[in-house]
Amino acid sequence: MLEVEGLHAHYGRAHILQGVTLSAAQGEVVALLGRNGAGKSTTMKAIMGLVRPTGGRVRFQGQDVTGREPFEIARQGLGYVPEERRIFTELTVMENLDVGRQPPRAGLAPWTPERVFALFPSLGAMRARPGGRMSGGEQQMLTIARTLMGNPRLILLDEPSEGLAPVIVERMAAAILELKREGITVLLSEQNLHFARLVSDRACVLEKGAIRWEGTLAALMEAEEVRAQYLSV
């Protein structure tokens, strides 16, 4: 479904991604783990075209999308949920969903506001509320819902648990598992290992802009030296 090969990216003169290689198969939930500044968000932005890659390839469903405009990549069926939520605060819940809406995709049941509200019932109760008057947890749900309206085949979820209360984080985990059941592929970046363990099939550990370890979550829990080396100080 998604193959990233030797991806490089710079911010100004800083070499942030130094050859990231990873892949996600249809229906898989892959966790991208690593410390702050390891390059998780940049990897997602580079895949999405929000940061221009300076080397390497991104292939999505066999098509090369490297360096394409973000809107073109989104129309291919790649959804992006940013770290800082970035809700359109002046727009209502329904309008936020409308901005994300894209034509249905073959083989996927099209997402409608009703289906999205079934996944996140609390949003259904506030359809006309402006995004700016929602709590952090509700906003996080709305960003995911908004991206789903584009009928993505794969979702990039950037730190979905950051800054949320533990009870909301549990609800997020349930929603991700629900998406997996729908056949949607998920690449999620996380710092919260407990959360990643609940939802992911596989983990890629990122450090200084490159993947240093790859394997199942169970294997990662066994590999204490990997966690000590890359996930803690």
Contact status, residue 50 vs residue 78, Cβ threshold 8 Å: no
To the nearest whole angstrom, how small is the minimum distance from the Cβ of residue 74 to another protein?
4
Those residues with Cβ within 8 angstroms of residue 36's Cβ, 6 or more apart along the chain or in another chain? 191
Contact 230, 205 (CB under 8 A): yes
Q: Which is nearer to another protein, 25 or 110 (CB)?
A: 110
Taking the C-alpha atoms of residue 200 and residue 217, their distance in angstroms, rounded to an integer, is 7
The label of the residue with tokens 């997402």 reads 111
27 Rama sector, left if φ>0, alpha if ψ -120 to 50, beta otherwise: left
Strand-pair category, 202-207 with 63-64: unpaired
At residue 163, what are phi and psi to the nearest 5 degrees? 75, 15
The nearest distance, CB 114 to another protein, in angstroms, is 19
CB of 98 to another protein, least distance (A): 5
**Phi, psi torsion values for 8, nearest 5 degrees:** -120, 145
Shortest Å, Cβ 19 to another protein = 21
Nearer to another protein, 58 or 198 (CB): 198
CB closer to another protein out of 6 and 101: 101
Provide the binding-site residues for another protein, judged by CB under 8 A: 35-37, 48, 50, 69-71, 74-75, 80, 82, 84, 86, 88-91, 95-96, 98-100, 102, 135-137, 146-147, 150, 161-170, 173, 191-195, 198, 231-233
Tell me how far, at minimum, the Cβ of 122 lies from another protein, in Å: 13
Q: Enter the tokens of residue 113.
A: 């506001």
Provide the minimum distance between the beta carbon of 197 and another protein in the complex, in angstroms, as a whole number. 9
- Nearest residue (CB) to another protein, 34 versus 56: 34
Nearer to another protein, 6 or 130 (CB): 130
DSSP 8-class letter at 198: H
Query: 25 or 229, CB closer to another protein?
Result: 229
